Amino acid sequence: MSQLPRAWLDELNDECALVTDPDGRAAVLSEMAKAAHLRREVDSDQLCEMLEFAESARLYGLNEHEDMYATGLFRHHEPLPEWGNQMIKGVGKVPPAEG
């Protein structure tokens, strides 16, 4: 029991998935760690390390996600005026009726 499970390490090293869904990936990593412990593939010390790695990976993913917004990789779009953005300011058109 000196090594962490290969499948778990592969999930941990999937940076694209971590950045896309940090909370979801951390939950998957935590569940995989608990399952490995129940199967006695890892001992309690390794389980503790795996759960700490999962939380660190979540924080890494959240930080990378924020950095992508800050650098402009993802663009924030202002609401279109025809949907009532100007209405909030007191001037503008009524949003089109749904249907």
pLDDT at 35: 96
Q: Which residues contact 52 (CB under 8 A, 6 or more apart)?
A: none
Average pLDDT over residues 3-25: 92
The two three-digit tokens of residue 64, written as one number = 């990378």
Residue with tokens 């309690």: 44
pLDDT at 46: 95
**What are the structural domain ranges in the chain?**
6-83
Average pLDDT over residues 6-19: 92
90 pLDDT more than 80 = no
pLDDT at 1: 44
34 pLDDT more than 70 = yes
Residue with tokens 């869904």: 21
pLDDT tens per residue, range 35-85: 999 999 999 999 999 999 999 999 999 999 888 877 777 666 665 555 554
pLDDT at 53: 96
